[in-house]
């Protein structure tokens, strides 16, 4: 059995807060790739075009631990290469990130509406992770969990890579108490507080999650905080963390969250309307620090605008 070797450190620096992509050359039992360039053209030519791969090779964009590769090198399975992807053009989200807390291990940030937590799909440099890495000068920063792009509020980031697993485990094992706030229609006949349990399914490529019969995999407690006119403020306490869980449960109760572009109806994709943010806020995080044993409690400084 071939011994697994440790991946060397990337020879390329971050660009705009984004790590370089890594390529490990796979085994080639058919001998299809006599040179490194043959493999790169076969691997990436369909996505970006063979001409673009050639151009990147000429410009020294593919780099190994010993420097740029030309593509003429003899193929060597297991070798690692790095390169920076071409970033898509992104509109700047016109809201700043607030830093609620910072120490040698953690950064707790107030993520604004419309800003993704970390790079994914068309959102790469305009993400909370990339911005914080650039603004705070913390290139190793990583999120311990994710918050939906349209949701605002607290996100926990870990400063040192070796600490990340311990904080991620807190979220995985449901040892973090989370409190959210939402503005939604006021329904006088809705008996609150209520605990909603259901089975939520989210399919890749489908915007809306759905509830279906079966063993519940999600649980949320919904409380009424106050109301004025036809709108109300709700306290939401999720015991689990399914995708869109709070939005799905509020919609199921007949009080979809204000300005939600997916529930109850999926709106056509179009330019962002920054004047109508989803009225959902991750307000509080509480947990016992896995390294010090000290209770930690953080509260967002953001406020929802739905009730004025």
Q: Could you tell me if 273 and 265 are in contact, meaning their C-beta atoms sit under 8 angstroms apart?
A: no
Residues annotated as part of the active site: 148
């Amino acid at each position: 059995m071939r011994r697994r070797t440790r991946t060397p450190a990337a020879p390329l620096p971050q660009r705009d807060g984004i790590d370089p992509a890594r390529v490990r050359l796979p085994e080639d039992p058919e001998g299809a790739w006599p040179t490194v360039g043959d493999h790169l053209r076969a691997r990436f030519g369909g996505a970006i075009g063979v001409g673009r791969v050639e151009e990147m090779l000429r410009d020294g964009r593919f780099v190994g631990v010993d420097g740029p590769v030309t593509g003429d090198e003899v193929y060597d399975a297991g070798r690692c290469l790095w390169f920076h992807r071409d970033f898509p053009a992104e509109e700047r989200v016109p809201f700043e990130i607030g830093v609620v807390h910072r120490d040698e291990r953690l950064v707790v940030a107030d993520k604004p509406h419309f800003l993704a937590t970390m790079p994914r799909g068309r959102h790469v440099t305009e993400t909370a992770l990339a911005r914080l890495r650039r603004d705070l000068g913390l290139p190793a920063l990583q999120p311990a969990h994710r918050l939906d792009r349209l949701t605002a509020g607290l996100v926990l980031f870990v400063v040192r890579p070796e600490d990340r697993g311990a904080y991620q485990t807190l979220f995985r094992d449901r040892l973090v108490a989370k409190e959210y706030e939402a503005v939604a229609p006021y329904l006088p006949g809705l008996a609150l507080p209520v605990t909603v349990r259901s089975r939520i399914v989210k399919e890749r490529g489908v915007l809306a999650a759905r509830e279906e019969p079966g063993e519940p995999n999600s649980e949320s407690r919904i409380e009424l905080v106050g109301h004025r006119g036809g709108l109300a403020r709700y306290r939401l306490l999720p015991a689990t963390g399914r995708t869109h869980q709070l939005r799905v449960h509020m919609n199921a109760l007949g009080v979809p969250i204000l300005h939600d572009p997916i529930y109850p109806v999926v709106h056509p994709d179009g330019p962002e309307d920054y004047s109508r943010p989803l009225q959902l806020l991750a307000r509080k995080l509480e947990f016992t620090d896995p390294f010090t044993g000290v209770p930690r409690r953080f509260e967002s400084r953001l406020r929802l605008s739905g009730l004025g």
